[in-house]
Amino acid sequence: MQRMNQRLTGMLAIVVLMFATLFAGPAAAGADNQSMDLVGRALVVSVEDAGATHRYQMVVNGEEKTYHTANKSVAAAPGEFVAFKAKDDRIVHFNDTVQAASFLHEKIMTKDTVNKKLELELSGVVPLAANYAVYEQRNSQLIPKSLSDVLVGAENVIAYFNSVGQVDLVVLDGPTPVENMRIGIMTNGFASLEHDRFDVKSAGGMQLVDKKANRVFDIAPNTQLGLVSTAGILKATVDGVEIYATTNRLYIQPVLEAQLQVMTFKRAYGNALYRGWFEVTPSKTAGKLNVINELDLEQYLYQVVPSEMPASFGLQALKAQSVAARTYALSDYLSNRYAVRGFHVDDSTLSQVYNNSAENALTTQAVNETSGLVMKKDGALVDARYYSTSGGYGANKHEVWADSNNAFPGTPIPYLIAQSYTYDPADPNRMLAVDTANEAALNAYYKNLSFMGYDSDSLYFRWKAPFTKSELEGTINSQLGVRYAADPKFILTQQADGSYASKSIPAGGAGTIHDLTVTKRGAGGNMMELVITGSTGTYKIVKEYNIRFTIRPSKSFTGSTTDMLLHRAKGGSTAYDAASALKNYTILPSSFASFDIARDASGALTSVTFYGGGNGHGVGMSQYGASALGAKGWSYDRILNAYYAGMQIVDVNAQ
């Protein structure tokens, strides 16, 4: 394979040389051609027989242009590259044609849209010309595309270079198939994408491969391979003995279908086993490595589904999770959000949790029985958000997240809507309607442990988090500035005229806390704005994520010397389950919450208790709800329609 790649690289150089020679030749044609234009490297898009003439659509310098010729004895075909002389829009003479060759494909490793660069697997980083163009060749037609259609990991790409080594034309050979996922692998605890070292072994043996240098090293079964980066050089050791050093990208490939076990970090189930192969490069940070795991999409889901949902949730819920996870993964695959780093997703909650739990037979069955199935709405992939537990209501997506331009509330999505998942006590076949705009009604709803709903079996269905005055001040004053640094547009300070503006938070935060007020809720009851009145000023925290990461029931943030408790209860309870109370929960479980403020005789705040329901952002599918519906006999497609209203399940491979 490496020799073939070298041959193809050589062929690419020959074709570029052909172009250069072809286009240089007529430049000395003399005075007869002075009124004519020599067009080099024009790509024929289409040819139309217009009776007395042929009409050509050409891509010239990145732009589509139309030419015609009365000389029908010479014809160039769509997909060919031509050099010709033209007077205005009339072709006077074809110099030659060069047929695009499919064997010039090379894999896209990274894409930098800001600096206009592509990294090819063998040729390395190449700049894009100022007037570059992208086309997809399909059924003898060339369809205009954009750089966003050139996907990381794609191998159906032909890159054509101009005389100064820039890519001025990219041709996609048909639609890019959805096959492999590229996952950025993080260190222990999902702390960082930069590794100090990377150690791997395999019970079935493996190979260390340098494709550029055409080097392959066989690593015996159960032998540990280690990689480190020193001054941009990758050094490989086997059982501590150095065997190779290079600046090239290295691949770690299993023998046959063996899995690779990483020894330098652990996941929840120990030293994790990975399918597919690893790709290792030096990081831009000195002494660090970047690691990518590439594997088949379905095999990727083998290790996502058990990490996101336990097998005990049942087959139908797991099948719903598989379709949602596949849809979410494909959306990330097409989004290009990590293209500059060379992968489609990472392995943390920033994408979907990957390989934190071991594969098991039931989750694998769920993936296999829904193979290739994704959700679409009006022809577009569904935004397949999901979360742990609903406290009885879901949220509108646009009332949880801002748009890409930071507008909040964002743009509504018709199928990600606020709706009740709580059974009406008077009629179990109906959903309970609560006035979520009424603070008193909502407070009573969250305090009531007897309600039942889709998620009743979750201990997060109802919860409470009590704070003393000093604990509340501790978490607010330690986190308000942190949230401002992370999201300054949505941590606001009240001005003298009563308006709010983004402004640096005082070192002491809000100081002495006098009051808390919810000034805006979503249709599902989720807090969207929380106003804190303190001795240093009045502050408005906007968006549920910022609220949850400011009110944190953990002694790490409150400064308490004793453990903070999060009390929990299932639906239909008469009291919180003392045995299930959690110590020092890192964030407020959800923004579906109300609170009671206690004051002393002078009116000063003495304590605050938050009452809430659910765990997570509340948008899309509740996983505990899916489990309960599956247990009631609902099929996975019916479950999905309960959370993504009006979606259609389609086979992505048939599109």
Higher pLDDT, residue 153 or 53? 153
pLDDT at 174: 87
Beta bridge partners of 522: none
pLDDT single digits (tens) 434-480: 999 999 999 999 999 999 999 999 999 999 999 999 999 999 999 99
- Domain boundaries along the sequence of the chain: 1-177, 385-617
The mean pLDDT value for 205-212 works out to 97
Higher pLDDT, residue 655 or 14? 655
pLDDT single digits (tens) 161-206: 877 788 888 889 888 988 899 999 999 999 999 999 999 999 999 9
Rounded to whole angstroms, the Cα distance separating 561 from 114 reads 49
Rounded to whole angstroms, the Cα distance separating 407 from 459 reads 34
2 HSE (CA, 13 A, CB side) = 10
Q: Has residue 260 got a pLDDT over 60?
A: yes
Kindly indicate the confidence band of residue 97, based on its pLDDT and cuts at 50, 70 and 90. low
pLDDT at 597: 98
pLDDT at 256: 85
Q: Has residue 100 got a pLDDT over 70?
A: no
Q: What are phi and psi of 439, to 5 degrees?
A: -60, -40
Closest CA to 483 of 406, 403, 543, 526: 543
Structure tokens at 545: 């994520």
Region of poorest pLDDT, from 78-87, 234-243, 403-412: 78-87
pTM of the model as a whole: 0.86
pLDDT single digits (tens) 493-518: 999 999 999 999 999 999 999 999 99
Q: Has residue 81 got a pLDDT over 90?
A: no
Distances (CA, A) of 29 to 117, 207, 597: 36, 56, 90
Region of poorest pLDDT, from 149-153, 160-164, 582-586: 160-164
Q: Has residue 542 got a pLDDT over 70?
A: yes
pLDDT at 117: 95
pLDDT at 30: 36
pLDDT at 60: 76
Kindly indicate the confidence band of residue 39, based on its pLDDT and cuts at 50, 70 and 90. low
Rounded to whole angstroms, the Cα distance separating 103 from 137 reads 14
Higher pLDDT, residue 507 or 100? 507
Q: Has residue 549 got a pLDDT over 80?
A: yes
DSSP-assigned states of every residue in 439-457: HHHHHHHHH-----BTTTT
Any idea what DSSP says for residue 458? S
436, 525 contact by CB (below 8 A): yes
Structure tokens at 312: 């005990």
457, 571 contact by CB (below 8 A): yes
The mean pLDDT value for 116-127 works out to 92
- With a CB cutoff of 8 Å and minimum separation 6, the contacts of 7 are none
The mean pLDDT value for 35-58 works out to 78
Helix (H, G, I), strand (E, B) or coil at 104: helix
pLDDT single digits (tens) 3-30: 334 333 333 332 333 333 333 333 333 3
Average pLDDT, the chain: 90
Rounded to whole angstroms, the Cα distance separating 161 from 167 reads 4
Burial class (CB in 10 A: 0-12, 13-18, 19+), 406: exposed
Q: Has residue 287 got a pLDDT over 90?
A: yes
Structure tokens at 245: 């050093």
Region of poorest pLDDT, from 56-65, 267-276, 576-585: 56-65
224, 238 contact by CB (below 8 A): yes
β-bridge pairing 491-494 and 537-542: antiparallel
pLDDT single digits (tens) 124-133: 999 998 888 8
Region of poorest pLDDT, from 82-96, 117-131, 137-151, 359-373: 82-96
Q: Has residue 250 got a pLDDT over 70?
A: yes
Rounded to whole angstroms, the Cα distance separating 490 from 344 reads 28
Structure tokens at 329: 């993964």
